[in-house]
Every structure is written in C-alpha cells, then in structure tokens.
Amino acid sequence: MNAMPPLEVKTTNPAVLAFVEDSRALFKPERVRWCNGSKWEYQELLKSLVDAGTAQWLNPARRPNSILVRSDPADVARVEDQTFICSLSKEDAGPTNNWADPAEMKATLTQLYDGAMAGRTMYVVPYSMGPIGSPIAGIGVMVTDSAYAVANMHIMTRVGDKVLEALGQSPDFVRGRHTVGYPLSTPSTADVPWPCDKTKYISHFPETREIWSYGSGYGGNALLGKKCHALRIASVKARDEGWMAEHMLILKLTNPEGRVKYIAAAFPSACGKTNLAMLVPTIPGWKAETIGDDICWMKFGADGRLYAINPETGFFGVAPGTSNESNLNAMKTLGANIIYSNVALTDDGDVWWEGMSEPPAHAIDWMRRSWTPASGRPAAHPNARFTAPAAQCPVIAKEWDDPAGVPIDAILFGGRRASVVPLVSEALSWRHGTFLGSIMASEKTAAAAGKVGDLRRDPMAMLPFCGYHMGDYFQHWINIGENGGGRMPKIFYVNWFRKSPEGKFLWPGYAENSRVLKWIFERCDDAAQAVETPIGRLPADGALDVAGLNISSEALSELLRVDGDGWKAELPSIREHFATFGAKLPAGLSEELAALEQRLG
C-alpha cells in the first residue's frame, strides 16, 4: 500500500484544495495520494490489496485480472441502522430516515476522525457520476484510506484528472470523507487484512452536500459515489433543482422494425431488477440492451422530455442466485477484471456461490474455512458481491454513456406479490402512477404459501435511499409530472410473482417478461389494446403475446384478473401507510386513494 508515490495535484480549484487540506489535517495520514484514474493506478491498487492480505489473485486462466476479497465477518452489508440524514431540520429527514443533528454528528465524527488515518495513505478520489461533462452528471471528491474502496470506485465511477478538468474552478461538488477507522498509531501497530471498527456511521449532510462515513470498508458504506451520493444526496439536489434521482434500471428495447423505446424500472430487492436490466427476449425479432442496472438520473431535455443517464460505470451486484439460468448476460460480464467480495474459492482458484452451478466437492468459504456441500452452511455470504465494469456486459447499449442521456418512454414499478396485483397494469395518469409507486410493496416470507402476508411497503424502491421526507418526495414526483405535462413517460405496475391458490407461480418470469415489455412498448404508441379497470388499464383479451408459451388460458386469466375484493381489503393498509407521512402527504395522493376506493365500488 505504501509503494504508490503521491502524484502531482492536477487542480487549482480552491474549494477542492481546501477540502483535501482540511481532511489531511483531520485524519493525519502518513501520505496523501491524488488518484489520476489510470489503468496503472488500478493495477497498483489490486497489487496493494494482495500484498496486504486483503485479497488474493484468482486463477488467471479462469478469471484474468480478478481478485477475491474477504471482509471482516462483522462488516458485510449496509448498516441501515447507523445511516443518518443530518438535515438542519429533523422534519426534513422525515419518518423513514434516521435523523441526527448535523452539528452534533459532525462533533462526534470529528472526534473519531482525529488521527484515524495515522500510518496510512489518504487517497483523494475525484469522480464523476455520469459521463464527464454531461449536463445530467454530477461530480464528487472523496477521501479514503481504503484501497479496496478506491479500486471499486475505479470500476463504478469515472475517476481521475479528467474529472478535475471538467470541474474547473466550480465549488459545486459532493464532498465525501471515509475512513475504515483503524489507525496504525505506532510503527509497531499491526495491520489486519480487513481493517474496520465496531463503531460505524454513514452520515449525510444534504444542505452542504457532504457524506461522512466511518468504520466500515464494505461497498455500500465505503463507495460514497453509490447509494450515498447517487441517491441520498442526489435526491435532495434533484428536489432543489427540478430533476429526478431514482433507484431504477434503464433498458433499451428495440422491436423487429428497428424502433426503440427506453424503459426505467424500480423494484425492491429480490424482485429481478438486474435480471430485467440484462434480459434476453424470447419473442422473435425483439432486442433488449442494458443502459444501467441500478440508478437512473433524469433531467428535462430541450424537447421537454425526460432524459436519463446511468451515473455508474459498473455493476455492484449480489452474487448468490446469479447463474447462467437466471442471468446469462451477468455471468458473461464476470469473466475478467472483477473484484469479488465474500464468495467461495474453489480448489482450482476460481469463484463459486450458492445458485451459480452444482456445488464443488470442496472449496474455501468466505470466512477462509474448508467447505464441502455437507458442511451445512453457505460457502458464500448471502450478500457476497461482484464489482464488474459495465462496458464488459455483452448487451450494453451503444448509448449507455452518451452525455445527452436517453429519452424515457415508460417507467415500471413492481414488487413481489402472490395475489391481488395483476401481471401488468398501466396507470391512468402520471399522478395515478405516482400513487402506484407510493404504495409499492413486497410480501415477506409469510406470503410464501400464497396467502396475503405481511407487506413491506417500499415506495419507488427508495425507502432506504431517499435523502429527505418521503411526503415531499411524493410531491416532487407530482410536480415533475405537472412540469412535463403530456411529454411524461407512461407508468406501469408489474408483478412477475402472482401465484395460483395452490401456491405455484403462474408466470414463468425471467426472459418471458419480454412479452410484458412488448405490450408496454406498444402501449406507449397506443398500438396495443387495453381495457379500463378500477386499478388501471390491463391488456385486452389477446393483446399479450403468448405465442409459443406453455401457459394455460386459466393461468393467463388469473394473472390478468382484477381482484376487487383483494384491493378493497388492502385499502386500510394503504391508509395506514399514508398516515406515516402526516401532513406532508400530498393531497393528490389522498385524492387518488379516494378515487380508487370509489372505482372499486
């Protein structure tokens, strides 16, 4: 880690220089290194991780230029209970966020930060979320003592001198501070393969566009460009400036005639988001390509339409469950130049995780223990990850890094519902679509048998990621719709997980979801038939292309049935959910709920 010499500073921006100098004085590192974003630098970072015992090289014949990292068992996931929105007013953080007084939080963290990088390198990481120079993109400068975090930022964002050039003398950048909180206070202090602290804080200061992270080296807590900047801080910036920062994939869909539509989609975890982003359509002549799998920033273009970019350059994906069957294109992306975290190591120096393939006869598990299929425990951590360059995805669209972005035609919401919610419905209006997004829910395992179980509402899949009061967030959605008028994308609600009374999935899902996308594509041109129902517009009889699909007419009928009684039974739950937001719940959503109740009769 110490082998990397400091490079010359490539900026005279006084705000950047002051931020870095203040951080240096606070953290007291042994050295400061400005990251230039070069390939050489990335390779040096990997080497430093291997030299420190944090990582090991995988078999180059199987996974060229790839490493396996194993974290401390106490540092394996986002720490949502220690994630804070430190807005000036508690009310602005709202009921769904942990709030802390910004002055008090900064006092607490300043004490923890004091000398926290002793004996270490402080890396300065200038990064761009989105194509450098794009009017939709945003810039951040992050300091960290984690080479693992810097290497991941190299894959996930655009890092280096070009970012500083684009920033020029502007003070408009997100300031990120991160330390693992494990100083090498004396020359005799022994380092460890995965330094971290039991105390952890992920704190966001929305008004000053700052992120202060302490104690964790795990990706979601340490890659400050990801959820911290791209969603929590960006959502506030978007509210203030009249655009949208959303937890959505972006997909390019081309029909057999060569016409293109761009679709954004928000799903809670475990609802097939990455699978949809890398879909292989089963309908002849249709083509799907990936723009992004996780985050979508949208601004109005000169023509009044919403244009989106994927602000990331990589995929930070959950490995367990990813396979050739569930997501062939993801697996094809993972051949080389990957950082694997907390997966198992096979005896021939390759990686393995649950759901990937038949288990190996023997492996080393994520905690460095000998493992066999008879061990009775997972070989990979359930939240094991891969960090992969997006450019390696075989179906990445040519315009995925176009600075102008792509015009969004449709927005999808969805959750995991065994009953009530049909396969697909089209919102009656933008406001009705906002209502559908605001009540998005997935059933917990209680619903596994097909009964209506415990619902977890996750509005727009933004519950852990909205940087301000969600009542105001809903109002922002309504405002955006009013600003865009008739040029706004159509909104749809999908549910791949509806079950029969016997508890069997009615829809095959995965690649067959392209059939639903075809109907959505055609609805955007008013070319597919729909029927008006109390909950929205559903495919008319015969409008959904099921040619060649082995599905019974009874199953199809059930998938597209409007369960009026089920919706009526859910109204009290929706009211209870809306009550969470108090006086800040937009009147427009209360009106949509009342209208739904009236339509249900």
pLDDT tens by residue, 521-555: 999 999 999 999 999 999 999 999 999 999 999 99
Q: Give the β-pairing of 174-179 and 210-214.
A: parallel
Can you name the residues that pair with 202 across neighbouring β-strands?
Answer: 83, 213
Distance separating alpha carbons of residues 96 and 93, to the nearest angstrom: 8
Give the pLDDT confidence score for residue 188 in this predicted structure.
82
Distance separating alpha carbons of residues 300 and 188, to the nearest angstrom: 57
pLDDT digit string (tens) for 260-308? 999 999 998 778 888 899 999 999 999 999 999 999 999 999 999 999 9
State which of 242, 275, 296 marks the end of a domain: 242
Tell me: do 375 and 436 sit in the same domain. no
State which of 224, 242, 260 marks the end of a domain: 242
Is residue 3 a part of any domain in this protein?
A: no
Q: Are 30 and 121 in contact (CB under 8 A)?
A: yes
CATH code for the domain in which residue 478 is found: 3.90.228.20
Q: How confident is the model at residue 236 (pLDDT cuts 50, 70, 90)?
A: very high
Is residue 254 a part of any domain in this protein?
A: no
Is residue 223 a part of any domain in this protein?
A: yes
Average pLDDT, the chain: 95
Q: Distance from first CA to last CA of the chain, Å, rounded?
A: 68
Q: Are 549 and 576 in contact (CB under 8 A)?
A: no
Can you name the residues that pair with 499 across neighbouring β-strands?
Answer: 505
DSSP structural state of residue 459 = G
Q: What is the dihedral of CA 383, 223, 331, 297, to 10 degrees?
A: 110
Tell me: do 125 and 180 sit in the same domain. yes
Is residue 552 a part of any domain in this protein?
A: yes
Helices and strands: H and E segment counts in the chain: 16, 32
Residues of the chain above pLDDT 90, percent: 92
Give the pLDDT confidence score for residue 401 in this predicted structure.
96
CATH code for the domain in which residue 330 is found: 2.170.8.10
Distance separating alpha carbons of residues 17 and 164, to the nearest angstrom: 11
DSSP structural state of residue 65 = T
Tell me: do 129 and 218 sit in the same domain. yes
Distance separating alpha carbons of residues 207 and 240, to the nearest angstrom: 10
Distance separating alpha carbons of residues 494 and 512, to the nearest angstrom: 13
Structural domain of 179: 14-56+76-242
* pLDDT exceeds cutoff 60 at 155: yes
Is residue 281 a part of any domain in this protein?
A: no
One-letter amino acid for residue 131 of the chain: P
State which of 195, 223, 242 marks the end of a domain: 242
Residue 568: count other Cβ atoms within 10 Å of its Cβ: 14
Residue 56: count other Cβ atoms within 10 Å of its Cβ: 14
Question: Domains in the chain: how many in total?
Answer: 3
Tell me: do 120 and 153 sit in the same domain. yes
Tell me: do 435 and 561 sit in the same domain. yes
Q: Which stretch of DSSP H or E encloses residue 345?
A: strand 344-346
Active site residue 466: no
Residue of 35, 86, 196, 271 marked active site? 271
Give the pLDDT confidence score for residue 4 in this predicted structure.
54
Tell me: do 100 and 195 sit in the same domain. yes
Tell me: do 520 and 571 sit in the same domain. yes
Tell me: do 90 and 224 sit in the same domain. yes
* pLDDT exceeds cutoff 90 at 111: yes
Give the pLDDT confidence score for residue 357 in this predicted structure.
96
Q: Give the count of alpha carbons within 13 A of 312, CB side only.
A: 35
Q: Give the β-pairing of 260-266 and 201-205.
A: unpaired
